Amino acid sequence: MGGTRKPYIAANWKMNLDRTRAMDLVKTLKARIGDGDDREVAVFPPALYLADVAAVAQGSPVGLGAQNLHWEEEGAFTGEISAPMLRDISVDRVLIGHSERRRIFFEKNEWMGRKVRAALDHDLLPILCVGETLEERRAGDLEAVIHGQLEAGFDWVREEEAPRITLAYEPVWAIGTGETATPSQANEVHALIRAWLAVKFPGGEVAASLRILYGGSVKPDNAGALMAQPEIDGLLVGGASLKAETFLPIVEFDR
């Protein structure tokens, strides 16, 4: 991974764990990660537990994120949560456009730019997720799909604020399937994403500094090889982030 990009390991708990287990896991993490100087670690619990987890994580370098947000600040949007509400309970980051939001809940690609905008406007650090399905990859549409998702997500982003965004490349066919993209397959797409950034933000600084995480069946035994790739700056971990026994070895990966 690139020299100045600090490794970022993010735990996407999805709709898993309960209040006690969520708090215990953060306690364990907090005790193990030290001052967080050499790598950034964050957890993305179910929204209902964010405040409890925030209380446990307080005073530690463990970042705390929501799994989604609405772009409006308030209003008649039953079931939704806004950026100011997340800030109100000490949340400092947010996942945007996870493939499960896009595919199971039919969130539109066009919404992602508004969500990124809302996150930036309210001082939340977004992780914008992109990734292709197996059908799209087989049809030769990988590049078009990824570019389309990037175009939508960065629609209202100014060059100087772009480095606050993190990207996650998560091939849909590798999520929760046990099938990981090979480190070189992932690296290739990360390079394609970085090339897109270099065109979108011609100054060059954004492409060089923005971190691109890989996600999709990351496990203790493949974390090191993935992180050894020059374009992979971190990992977005689902299933293996639910237990300290599997998440800590990923956090403590050795290239």
- Residue 170 annotated in active site: yes
Q: Restricting to residues 74-103, which ones interact with ligand PGA according to CB under 6 A? A: none
# chain residues binding ligand PGA, by CB under 6 A: 13
3-state secondary structure at position 230: coil
Crossing angle of helices 111-121 and 142-153, rounded to 10°: 40
Q: Which is nearer to ligand PGA, 227 or 236 (by Cβ)?
A: 236
Q: Restricting to residues 121-180, which ones interact with ligand PGA according to CB under 6 A? A: 170, 175-176
Q: Restricting to residues 6-45, which ones interact with ligand PGA according to CB under 6 A? A: 12
Q: Which is nearer to ligand PGA, 42 or 218 (by Cβ)?
A: 218
* Nearest-angstrom CA–CA distance, 20 and 41: 20
List the beta strands (DSSP E) in 60-156: 63-66, 93-96, 125-130
Q: Which is nearer to ligand PGA, 66 or 240 (by Cβ)?
A: 240
Q: Which is nearer to ligand PGA, 207 or 241 (by Cβ)?
A: 241
**Cβ contacts of 5 within 8 Å, gap of 6 or more:** 209, 211, 233
Min dist CB 7 to ligand PGA, Å, is 17
**Contact region for ligand PGA (CB under 6 A) — 25-33, 51-59, 66-74, 237-245?**
237-245
Q: Are 148 and 109 in contact (CB under 8 A)?
A: yes
| Sign, Cα dihedral of 178, 21, 15, 109 | negative
Interface residues with ligand PGA (CB under 6 A)?
12, 170, 175-176, 215-218, 236-240
The catalytic site residues sit at 98, 170
